[in-house]
Each structure stands twice: as structure tokens, then as C-alpha cells.
Amino acid sequence: MLLLVDFGSQTAHLIARRLRSLGAKVTIVTPEEAYESASVHKPKGIIFSGGPQSVYADGSPKVDTKIYELGIPILAICYGFQLVARDLGGEVVGGKKEYGPAECQMSPSTSSGQAISKGLSNNFVVWMSHGDEIVKLPGGFVTVGSTEHVPFSFAIDETRKIIGLLFHPEVEHTEHGDVILQNFMDYCGIIPENAKIDTNLIIQSIRESVCKSYVIGAISGGVDSTVAGALVAKAIGDHFIPVYVENGLMRESNREHVEKIFSHLGVRADIVDCETEMLEKLQGIEDPEEKRKTIGAFYIEVFEREMEKHVKDGKDIQFLMQGTIYSDVIESKGTKHADKIKSHHNVGGLPEKMKLKLLEPVREFYKDEVRQIGTLLGLPSDFVQKQPFPGPGYGVRIRGEVTKERLEKEKHADRILLEELEKAGLLDQVFISFPVMTGADSVAVKGDGRFFGEVIALRVVESRDVMTAVWSRLPYEVLQRISSRIVNEVTEVSRVVYDISTKPPATMEWE
């Protein structure tokens, strides 16, 4: 067993997921629990996750330093490595920040760390997300690898069996990340076990949770709610009542797609039309957090109305099913020491008091795992490979107030983007694509006259589990066609810009 100490990293749960996929059993604990748990359970190895704080900040998470005396191998990542360095006599300062890709160059002059560096290239891309820098290693540590800005990116103390990484091996965009984790497992003497997802266990868990009550299901048409709905439908059959809220914030073809999903699941659908009411609720709201919470609260209001209808028919409805996945949870401050990035409408955006209990069958899984579950359930490819779309819909892709006029512009630009990506044969190659009404205006020339209009930003990225992403290298001619069509066809748009930010530091959406 491996013990994972969660210092509040956005990717702490992802570390456990990667290790489990390699066949390791992982238990997650808080820093406060780490020493006692390690002393009692005697794990084969310990992993320190990253975290959002500085090791010198007031109230920053710490471990009992006696944990270093247990002789158990430790893999310390990012904040975890900085904490080790500080605890053992090194020096950490607010140095050169690194977010996103960097190149790690392995040190040729040392034979140390061969067990952990086995199978790695001399130079490989790693993913950084740190604000502090280790400027002096503790005694006993030897540098294994460096990046351009950080000389101690990869180090090892072979006597104390501590390996330090300032990059994140758990994210998909770090080359050889799984190799490093596998090497650590080998270093700890972990014998891999089968880690296949068992859908029958998930279905059985739903049955045990729900018993004989009914479940209302929030179906948006996206992959997550579709897979969650399929699991619940298999678990409880006609005790599942799926509901689609047509609030005007979803893509134009979404209603037909949802009806197709319901037909496949063999359950009767409730479709609620409420676009006018939704826009009235959003009137005058510009703050993105307030928008998310308003949309989330309205969803609950609609579902509770639907619940009352069915209760009058004698149905005992106790649960609301949502397609919440782990990336939603962690961005909405899912663990003790994590920072809140934003409220997801289905997590931090929900009202405090609800009449319904939440049922979230895929809450502990990542996007690629949810797709895998859908495939195991026999769902069609167009259900499980559909491009993600946020639960709050276009509401978080329009900066500032959501009006009927701006909503129509966003939909028009989105339609153009999808059409051109499909024409170019690129739509299936990107993870997500969307325009953003930025709320910023710029001058342009239309018809030989000065024109002042809104700027639209395009966001097209490649990702697998949503936790990290890189911008798609679209051909220039495709970008040109998209830009020309949007400026010419969407009213009062002055120009189009392309977002080339990675995640981190940027998030997937703009709001």
C-alpha cells in the first residue's frame, strides 16, 4: 500500500488515480494524519502531493518531521518537495515561477537516482505549477535533473530514500510521468494488481444508496450526465426520472441529442422549457461566480418543481442525480487544503438548503475514465466521445451580463467554429472548442467606416482528463476562415483572437 499525503493540490487525487491504474493500492490522508497513519499502517511508500500555498505562509500544511525517520521511501512532488527541503535544512524562496511546460535535462555526471530515472530520456517535457523555488538542497540530496529556470527540479537522497520533484509526473502532459511513478513503485517493492473499473460495483452501490426511492436525473446531453444516467437507469430502471432543462444556454442541437439519449436508455424523459425565466434570473449579473450560483440555484428550483409534480403522483423522490466528475469537485475546493478555483454549478454553485439528496455516480472519476465507463456500458460512440460542454452552458462563455442579444451572437460564433473544424476534419481531434464573448471592445474598419465592436476569443484545446490542457495548433488557414466568417457574419464583432494559454495556469473555461 502507498500513502498519499494531500497538501491541497488540484492533482492530488490524480496522483492516486495514476498509481491505481499502474496497479498500486493508495490511501489518501491529510498532512495532520500522515505520521500516525504511516507509523500504524507501515506503507511501502509515501507520496507528498503539491499544494497551493508557500511553505513559509502562516497556516500552511505541515507534517510531523518524525515521518522522515521511519525509513519509508518518500516521493515528494512540488509543494511536497519544498516542504521536505525546508524541513531537512535546505532553503526555499519565492523564486522564478513556472506554469505549464518546461524541459527537464537529466544530470550526466551522477550515478545517483538510477532506480527512479530508469527509462527516462536525457531531455523530456515536464509540467510545472509552482511559485516558490528551492535554492539550496538539504545535505545528502543529489541533483538528478534540472530545467532552465530551476536547477533542483529532480533530486534524490538515497540514504533517507527521499525523491523530490518540482514538476508533476501525474499529469498527462509530463513525458514519462507514468515511468517515474512506476519506477517509484518498483523502488518501494510494490507488486502491481489488476486495476480495471468494475461498472457492476458502481451499479450495486447506486442500488444500495437509493433502495426503493425514485431519482430525478439532471441530464444535460454531455458525456458525464449521460454516463451517470446510464448507470442509474441500469441500477433502478423506471424509478429513474431523467429531466432536461432547456434554458437557452445549451447548444442548438442539444435537445435532439438528449432525446436520442433518453430513447437509448429506455426511459421516459421530462423536458422543461424555461429560457425566458433563465434570462430573467441572469439579468444584470456580471460577476462569473454569481452567474454560476444563479444558474445552479435555478437548476435546483426547476428540479424541485419537477419533484413536486411526481410526488403528487405518489412517487417517493429523494435523490437528484448529477454528472459531477472529479475535476468539478477539485476546482470547487474539494479537499481540506485546496484552493477554490471557481464554483461549478453542480458543486460550489448549489444552494445550501435542498429538498433532494445528491446522487453522483461518477464523482470520483476523471473525464477519460467516465468515457471508459460509458464504453463498458455499451453506449454509442457519439454519446461518450461528445465534446464537453459546461453545465452552466453559454452563461460562462459570455463575459459580463448574459442578454438575449449576446446569447444569439455566442451561439452564431459557436456554430461557425464547429462547422469550420468539421470541414477541416479537425473536430474529432480536439478535446473542446468554443468562442468567448470577451466583453472587451476594439476599433475596426467595416465598409470604409470606423466601427467599434466586441472582441471574440477562440479557445480550442487538447486534453484527456481535464486537469491539464494544451492549446490546439490549428492550421493558419483554418483559423483565418473561422475569423473571417465570425467578423463578417456575427453582428457587432470587431475582431477574433486565439487563446494559446495552457492549463495551468489558465483554466479550461474563461469564467
How many Cβ atoms sit within 10 Å of the Cβ of residue 446?
Answer: 13
* 104 part of the active site: no
* 231 domain residue, yes or no: yes
User: What burial class does residue 24 get, using C-beta atoms within 10 Å of its C-beta: 0-12 exposed, 13-18 middle, 19+ buried?
Assistant: buried
Domain identity same for 171 and 291? no
Rounded percentage of the chain residues whose pLDDT exceeds 90: 66
Confidence of residue 340 (pLDDT cuts 50, 70, 90): very low
Confidence of residue 344 (pLDDT cuts 50, 70, 90): very low
**Residue 398, strand partner residues:** 437
Rounded distance, CA 486 to CA 24, Å? Answer: 50
13, 168, 239, 257: which one is catalytic? Answer: 168
> What per-residue confidence (pLDDT) applies to 349?
47
Domain identity same for 209 and 281? yes
Give the residue with greater pLDDT, 351 vs 152.
152
Domain identity same for 366 and 274? yes
Q: Does the N-terminal peptide bond of residue 242 adopt cis geometry, omega within 30 degrees of 0? A: no
Asked whether the beta carbons of 329 and 276 are under 8 A apart, the reply is no
pLDDT tens-place string over residues 385-431: 999 888 899 999 999 999 999 999 999 999 999 999 999 999 999 99
98, 133, 170, 369: which one is catalytic? Answer: 170
Q: Which of 137, 158, 188 is the last residue of a domain?
A: 188
The arithmetic mean of pLDDT across residues 153-164, rounded, is: 95
Alpha helices in 237-365 (DSSP H): 254-265, 275-282, 288-312, 326-331
Rounded distance, CA 467 to CA 481, Å? Answer: 30
User: What burial class does residue 23 get, using C-beta atoms within 10 Å of its C-beta: 0-12 exposed, 13-18 middle, 19+ buried?
Assistant: middle
* 509 domain residue, yes or no: no
341 pLDDT more than 60: no
Rounded distance, CA 202 to CA 124, Å? Answer: 38
Asked whether the beta carbons of 410 and 398 are under 8 A apart, the reply is yes
User: What burial class does residue 239 get, using C-beta atoms within 10 Å of its C-beta: 0-12 exposed, 13-18 middle, 19+ buried?
Assistant: buried
79 pLDDT more than 90: yes
> What per-residue confidence (pLDDT) applies to 185?
96
pLDDT tens-place string over residues 235-280: 999 999 999 999 999 998 899 999 999 888 888 878 999 999 999 9
Select from 249, 258, 227 the least CA-distant residue to 295: 249
Asked whether the beta carbons of 255 and 271 are under 8 A apart, the reply is yes
Confidence of residue 346 (pLDDT cuts 50, 70, 90): very low
* Range of weakest confidence among 102-116, 170-184, 382-396: 102-116
Rounded distance, CA 299 to CA 455, Å? Answer: 30
Select from 475, 474, 473, 463 the least CA-distant residue to 507: 463
> What per-residue confidence (pLDDT) applies to 476?
97
The model carries a pTM of: 0.72
* 78 part of the active site: yes
DSSP string for 361-399: TTTT--HHHHHHHHHHTT--HHHHSPPP--TTGGGGSB-
> What per-residue confidence (pLDDT) applies to 172?
86
* 391 domain residue, yes or no: no
> What per-residue confidence (pLDDT) applies to 13?
85
Rounded distance, CA 384 to CA 78, Å? Answer: 34
How many Cβ atoms sit within 10 Å of the Cβ of residue 159?
Answer: 9
Rounded percentage of the chain residues whose pLDDT exceeds 70: 93
* Range of weakest confidence among 171-185, 346-360, 412-426: 346-360
Residues in CB range of 326: below 8 A, 6 or more apart: 13, 334, 363, 364, 365, 366
357 pLDDT more than 80: yes
pLDDT tens-place string over residues 456-486: 999 999 998 788 899 999 999 999 999 999 9
Q: Rank 40-44, 99-103, 349-353 by mean pLDDT and report only the highest.
A: 40-44
Asked whether the beta carbons of 373 and 362 are under 8 A apart, the reply is yes
> What per-residue confidence (pLDDT) applies to 111?
63
Domain identity same for 362 and 325? yes
Domain identity same for 342 and 408? no
How far out from the chain centre does Cα 465 lie? 6
> What per-residue confidence (pLDDT) applies to 295?
93
Q: Which of 188, 217, 232 is the last residue of a domain?
A: 188
* 188 part of the active site: no
Domain identity same for 30 and 163? yes
* 72 domain residue, yes or no: yes
> What per-residue confidence (pLDDT) applies to 417?
98
pLDDT tens-place string over residues 206-230: 999 999 999 999 999 999 999 999 9
User: What burial class does residue 326 get, using C-beta atoms within 10 Å of its C-beta: 0-12 exposed, 13-18 middle, 19+ buried?
Assistant: buried
78, 104, 188, 274: which one is catalytic? Answer: 78
SS (H, E, C) 187-243: HHCCCCCCCCCCHHHHHHHHHHHHCCCEEEEECCCCHHHHHHHHHHHHHHHHHEEEE
* 395 domain residue, yes or no: no
* 505 domain residue, yes or no: no
Q: Which of 188, 208, 242 is the last residue of a domain?
A: 188
> What per-residue confidence (pLDDT) applies to 343?
46
Domain identity same for 216 and 348? yes
Domain identity same for 68 and 106? yes
Asked whether the beta carbons of 208 and 152 are under 8 A apart, the reply is no
Domain identity same for 153 and 237? no
What range defines the domain where residue 491 resides? 403-498
The arithmetic mean of pLDDT across residues 75-100, rounded, is: 88
Domain identity same for 290 and 334? yes
381 pLDDT more than 90: yes
Confidence of residue 96 (pLDDT cuts 50, 70, 90): low
348 pLDDT more than 50: no
Give the residue with greater pLDDT, 9 vs 302.
302
Give the mean pLDDT of the chain. Answer: 89
The residue count of the chain comes to 511
What's the CATH number where 325 sits? 3.40.50.620
What's the CATH number where 76 sits? 3.40.50.880
Domain count, the chain: 3
Rounded distance, CA 104 to CA 152, Å? Answer: 10
Domain identity same for 370 and 445? no
Q: Does the N-terminal peptide bond of residue 52 adopt cis geometry, omega within 30 degrees of 0? A: no
> What per-residue confidence (pLDDT) applies to 93?
87
Rounded distance, CA 201 to CA 207, Å? Answer: 10
pLDDT tens-place string over residues 323-337: 998 877 765 444 554
Contacts by 409-414, CB closer than 8 A, 24 or more apart: 409/437, 409/454, 409/490, 409/491, 409/492, 409/493, 410/435, 410/437, 411/251, 411/252, 412/489, 412/490, 413/437, 413/456, 413/486, 413/490, 413/493, 414/251
Domain identity same for 133 and 229? no
Asked whether the beta carbons of 258 and 266 are under 8 A apart, the reply is no
* 310 domain residue, yes or no: yes
The x, y and z cell numbers of residue 12, run together, are 492530488
Give the residue with greater pLDDT, 373 vs 266.
373
What's the CATH number where 477 sits? 3.30.300.10
The arithmetic mean of pLDDT across residues 429-437, rounded, is: 96
* 117 domain residue, yes or no: yes
> What per-residue confidence (pLDDT) applies to 404?
96
User: What burial class does residue 41 get, using C-beta atoms within 10 Å of its C-beta: 0-12 exposed, 13-18 middle, 19+ buried?
Assistant: exposed
